Amino acid sequence: MPQISLSGSIRISANEVVGLYYLSAIIAKFNRQCPLLEVEFDISNSVTSINKRDTDIALRMFRPTQADLIAKKLRNISLYFSANKDYLRHYGEPQSIDDCSQHRLIGFDRDLTMLKALEKTGGQITPADFKNRTDSLSMQIELTRQGAGICVTHLPIIQRYTELQILLQDVPIPELEFWLMCHADVQHNRKIRLMMDFLNSSFGAIYL
């Protein structure tokens, strides 16, 4: 891969799952292509303002509404229930979403986003059904990997770890929209354009 002699810095905003489980590996490859460019990361589940120039590029799980943003729609991310295979050998595998209330569900503490999504599946999961609760998405994933219970997470993450198994594949959990965006004022900046193209290509490859 030829090196590109651009310099300066680029600031990228993403939530913790995108940052830890996708972006870290992608930027490691980008660094080899553009060794003079510095990358700053704003990894937070809070939304960073592009309009206020708090970030150059943002990866978000919702459609942008501001007219002055340039946005590229990435592929939706499929969500599934998942558990460690050792957990399933010990506790059994749920055969329906209502069976999940008999298991150690891993979910949010104060954030009700996932609970509202699960309501659309027709199941009867309530906040009391979550036996391990945290608003940290990465903590939910790691608890699941260690066999602490069942969580809902991204299909590419489940596929990455051999200890995890997809559950209840027929349960229609709404997919996550995934967007790559920058401010219209910087869309023709060479280093921003380069990073946008690299991210678009790299996230596309995740689903191949």
Q: Reduced to 3 states, what is the DSSP secondary structure of residue 63?
A: coil
Using 50, 70 and 90 to split pLDDT, how confident is the model at 123? low
Please report which confidence band the pLDDT of residue 107 belongs to, taking 50, 70 and 90 as the band edges. confident
User: CATH code for 8-76+176-206?
Assistant: 3.40.190.10
Up-side HSE of residue 72: CA atoms within 13 Å toward CB?
18
Answer whether 34's CB lies under 8 Å from 3's CB: yes
Residue 49 has pLDDT above 70, yes or no: no
pLDDT at residue 53, rounded to an integer: 65
pLDDT at 120: 67
Q: Which residues make up the CATH 3.40.190.10 domain(s) of the chain?
A: 8-76+176-206, 79-167
79-167: CATH topology is D-Maltodextrin-Binding Protein; domain 2 (3.40.190)
This prediction has a pTM of 0.84
Where are the alpha helices (H) located in 34-154, listed in sequence order? 85-91, 113-119, 137-145
Where is pLDDT greater, at 10 or 2? 10
Helix 190-206, helix 24-33: angle, nearest 10: 130
| Residue percentage of the chain with pLDDT more than 90 | 58
Is the pLDDT confidence value at 3 over 70? no
Q: Who contacts 208 (Cβ-Cβ below 8 Å, separation ≥6)?
A: none
Task: Reply yes or no on whether the pLDDT at 34 is more than 70.
Answer: yes
Query: Which residues lie closer than 8 Å to 104 by C-beta, 6 or more apart?
Result: 87, 91, 131, 132, 148, 149, 150
Please give the pLDDT value at position 48.
62
